[in-house]
Structure 1
Amino acid sequence: MPMLDQVTAGAPQTGTDDLDLAETGVVGVTIVWADNNGIPRSRTVPVGQFGAAVERGVGVTPLFAVFDSHDGITFGRSPLGTPSGDIRLMPVADRLVRLAGQPGFAWVPGRQVAADGSAWPYEQRGVLERQVSRAAALGLDFLAGYEMEFHLSRADGDDGDDVRPIYEGPSYGPARMLAVDALAAQLLRDLDRNGVPVGQFHGEYAPGQFEFNIAPADPVTAADRQLLARQTVHAAARAHGLRASFAPLVTLGQVGNGWHLHTSLYRAGTNLLSGGDGPAGMTADGGAYLAGLLRDLPAVVAVTAPSLSSLQRLRPGYWSGAYTFWGVENREAALRLVPATPLIGAGHANVELKPSDASANPYLALAAVIAAGLAGIEDGLTPPDPVQEDPGTWADERRAERGIRRLPTTVEEQLGTLLTNDRIRSALGEELADAFRAVRVSDAAWAADRDAADAVRSYRWLY
């Protein structure tokens, strides 16, 4: 996804006045957050109660922090070891959006706080806000944007197991877009009206696969928009008798769905990934940011692609970023540097993280990326030379000489890299990191007696 200068689309219609909302036909406001599996969870309040929700929140169980991907509740995190307790879900009122595709409802992201209103250590949005504040203290600002891949299946006669792709013809062609002509028109219109600015939309590689990219924004806004975009896609698909899936892998053996995460960093308005004399024109700090990501890549990916479905997607040769290396415009690289060009300008430069998908909590994913990159800057790291080939075709010895390793392929390996990495674990916080661990262990136990195809099917309609 090209990281163009931030564009302005149709702005969200914000406000907290219940009467104002009701006059526009809104009957309910859905407050949404994402759990440690990247699954959106929500509460909907009648429009007349929204003002009260803004003041006092809505009660929810703290055990959402230890829900696994299949709605099992693990008590593997001892402070969350009983069904007792309550927290409050607080709407972030200035992000309220009247949903174009669901005219009876408004949408708003939520933050979780303790019952007395104090900070709650398992709250994911706050983890990202802390990293953004840490960057600001260093004089740095970030922009983040997403490429969002998803699969469209015919819903008529769908029993929830079979997949019937909307189109199985040539990849990337206009015929694939023609197959979803009416949906595409509504989706682009609804995304714009919902305040999600889109750079492009096209048919992707796999049968029934499509992609759009969200223009860059500050990290918290980018994470909010990612959640809102999902809601918008699902509503538009349903309106046209289709079913959307953002799952990392929809069908075993096929190309999966990535949510490639693009980031760029700035000091005093200057993009640090261009205008320097480092590799591909990076400044020293820009190179250090990339080097920090590379150093902590296995731990970062444990957060950005954490599910069993993610592990099945991350395969060499599929442009999913299965090895620990970076390259300039190398689409097999886990970290792809998209450099500035004379045509588009210095603001275009960004780093794309390939191993990132829908099973990641968007706030935690961005927090892990920023934490790793900032640590690289603080430690004055220098990146190794870029790799412009596919290391998956190399002998093991050649990869070892370049320090290139396969990213973890099991839950145990993923957790090992995450929990022994002080930088990423510290960014998450001890409580949240341990809840995240408990959820991953619970998922692995659930899948222990199931084959790979069953695991893929089990994630297919979660996202």
Structure 2
Amino acid sequence: MSTFAERFGLWSAEQKAQAAEIAGRIDAGEIDVLRFAWPDQHGVLRGKTLVAEAARGALSRGVNLTTTLLAKDTSHRSVFPVFSAGGGFALEGLQGGADFVVLPDPSTFRTLPWAPRTGWVLCDAYMKDGRPCPFATRPILQRALARLGARGLEFVAGLEVEFHVFRLDQEALALGDAGQPGTPPAVSLLTQGHQYLTELRYDRVDGLMELLRHDLLALGLPLHSLEIEFGPSQFELVFGPTAGLVPADTMVLLRSAIKQICQRNGLHATFMCRPRIPSVMSSGWHLHQSLRHAEGGDNAFMPEAGSAAPLSPLGMHYLAGLKAHACGAAALASPTINGYRRYRPFSLAPDRAIWAQDNRGAMLRVLGAPGDSASRIENRIGEPTANPYLYLASQIFSGLHGITGAMDPGASADVPYETPAEHLPRSLEAALATLQADAVLVDGLGRDFVDYYCHIKQAEIARFQLEVTEWEHREYFDMF
């Protein structure tokens, strides 16, 4: 009897060979358990762990997960009526908490350095009839990459990721900590902050940095540098450029890896944009991106000798597309309520849709020159919680629109917080409305997906608006 992968022709010849290699490692007794990980709508990894004997067959058969996972917001609440007709999604096959199948992409296999004799593989989601799951996000990026490929181009990205790590003060959970979501962990600082890139401050956390360096390199991730950031207990990791799906796959793995490594060592890592601690500095995710020619691999953004522009004509058109759709893409680059507390003037975070040459106050920082094979665009809009498949897809769809329309990005904004320009959305609610009105992004992502995504995010906003914040209590409780 044929397996799920064989029946629907879901693997290439190379993936079949890679799956056979994983099976061989299982047969050789190298792996006790295999984690089947699937990136959900939030870019959070979910899945199941199978013992070696069961995992071998599941490599090509896939693993069943319940469709209720597609209905979850960030509190893990189901925000669709999953037991109504159509499961609340109005799509066949999703009702009643039915199953969908996650099938490994064998090329993503790793062994986890912090978990002995544990394998890990990233999966794609399919319906039982072999159709891609309509709300899976990895296929959206694959679709964007295919549009680039039709033009003989490939997407290249490097990641700069900021995050916080704290010491866990109380690892044991009290009964009162249960909830949806539960009580945040009690933590204390590792560093006081405000000593950006100082060697002394780095040396004080060398134990943490060595943990991360060792395990991330052992995973095969393209780690380039480890840095002390400006805020208290804030750090940054920089990863070298990779192509296609790899940057997004790297992002979901590294976030999960860092949190697991830290937890096992009495620490708490968070990619939340702006934690509620004194003197906090917001964390961003700066996405360096370029295109290369599929034939030859040359950087398609590098300008010709004598060019006055920092990028090639194709690069400048792509830049114009990013600028034109910056507000529509904001909900994908910054998908949390908290993330919009980052956009403020004079903060090294953008507040408007502009570009500039090598200026960190601009949303789009352009780094390029004739002969510079690293010519690229750094988009500084993102927060590190973003689902990387959606964020990267939004960049490609936007940039392709700029290329197709030969769009002009206008002049460099050398005073980024004074240049008249369209302001970025100041709230998640405003960003969702802008996304829904952006015809190019809706076409690229799919109307059904955009409606689905916005429904989940609007449910999060509705829950937030029901809460009484400390600010409100402090402002009004005594005054009135």
TM-score range, shorter chain: 0.7 to 0.9
Q: Say whether residues 1:222 and 2:247 are aligned partners.
A: yes
For residue 178 of structure 1, report the CA deviation from its aligned partner. Answer: 1.6
The residue number in structure 1 matching 2:300 is 272
**Aligned-pair distance for 1:38?**
2.8
* Counterpart for residue 380 of structure 2: 354
The alignment-based identity, stated in percent, is 27
In 1, the alpha carbon distance for the partners of 2:244 and 2:463 equals: 33
Across the two proteins, how many residue pairs are aligned to each other? 431
Contact 1:67 1:439 in 2 (8 A): yes
Higher relative contact order (CA 8 A, sep 6+): 1
Match of 2:15 in 1: none
Q: Give the C-alpha shift of residue 161 in structure 1.
A: 4.2
Q: Distance in 1 between matches of 2:299 and 2:196?
A: 34
Contact 1:327 1:387 in 2 (8 A): yes
Quickly say closer, same or farther: Cα 1:250–1:295, change in 2 above 3 A: same
Q: 1:365 aligns with which of 391, 409, 415?
A: 391
Matches of 2:187 and 2:41 in 1, distance apart? 26
Map of 1:87 onto structure 2: 100
Q: Report what 1:424 is aligned to.
A: 441
Task: Using structure 2 for the length normalisation, give the TM-score.
Answer: 0.84
Aligned-partner Cα distance in 1 for 2:386–2:38: 13
- What residue is the counterpart of 2:367 in the other structure? 338
Q: 1:19 to 1:453 in 2, by over 3 A?
A: farther
Contact 1:18 1:47 survives alignment (8 Å):
no
1:260-310 superposed Cα distances (whole Å, 9 cap, x missing partner) = 111111224232322246664311111000000000001112111111011
By how many angstroms is 1:37 displaced?
Answer: 2.4
Give the Cα separation in 2 of the matches to 1:42 and 1:452.
34
**TM-score, length basis structure 1:** 0.87
CA distance 1:41–1:84, shift in 2 (3 Å): closer
Alignment CA distance shift 1:14-1:198 (3 Å) = farther
Letter in 2 for 1:29: L
Q: Following TM superposition, by how much is the alpha carbon of 1:319 offset from its aligned partner in structure 2, in angstroms?
A: 1.5
Contact 1:66–1:436, Cα closer than 8 Å, also in 2: no
Q: Find the partner of 1:382 among 398, 403, 408.
A: 408
- Measure how far apart 1:15 and its partner are: 5.9
User: Cα offset for 1:406?
Assistant: 1.8
CA distance in 1, matches of 2:391, 2:283: 16
- The CA distance in 2 between the partners of 1:64 and 1:315, in whole Å, is 35
Q: Does 1:448 find its partner at 2:453? A: no
Task: Give, in angstroms, the shift of residue 160 of structure 1.
Answer: 3.1
SS in 1 for 2:90: helix
**After alignment, is 250-259 or 138-147 more displaced?**
250-259
2:36 aligned with 1:31:
yes
In structure 1, the gaps of 5 or more residues are: 1-12, 456-463
User: Does the Cα contact within 8 Å between 2:44 and 2:252 map onto a contact in 1?
Assistant: no
SS in 1 for 2:290: strand
Whether 1:409 aligns to 2:426 is yes
Give the structure 2 partner of residue 167 of structure 1. 191
Decide which structure has the larger Cα Rg and report it: 2
- Residues 64 and 101, structure 2, Cα contact 8 Å, conserved in 1: yes
Shift of 1:324: 0.9
Determine the structure 2 residue equivalent to 1:6.
none
CA deviation digits over 1:296-352, x for unaligned, max 9? 0011121111110111222222222221111111111111112248xxx52211111
The structure 1 residue matched to 2:56, chosen from 51, 60, 65, is 51
In the TM superposition, what are the counterparts of 1:52-201 in structure 2 within 5 Å? 52-75=57-80, 78-79=89-90, 82-157=95-170, 160-169=184-193, 170-201=195-226
Query: Residue type matched to 2:338 in 1?
Result: S
Residue aligning to 2:256: 231
Q: Tell me how large the CA RMSD over aligned residues is.
A: 2.3
The equivalent of 2:343 in structure 1 is 314
Tell me what 1:294 maps to.
323
Alpha-carbon contact 2:163-2:384 (below 8 Å) kept: no
- Cα distance change on mapping 1:14 and 1:211 into 2, 3 Å: farther
Give me the whole-angstrom Cα distance separating, in 2, the residues matched to 1:454 and 1:361: 30
Q: Is the 8 A contact 1:98 1:194 kept in 2?
A: yes
Distance 1:31 1:129 in 2: 20
SS in 2 for 1:83: helix
**1:213 alignment partner, SS class:** strand
In structure 2, what is the Cα distance between the partners aligned to 1:44 and 1:113?
A: 19
SS at match of 1:138: coil
Distance in 2 of aligned mates of 1:372 and 1:453: 39
2:452 aligned with 1:435, yes or no?
Answer: yes
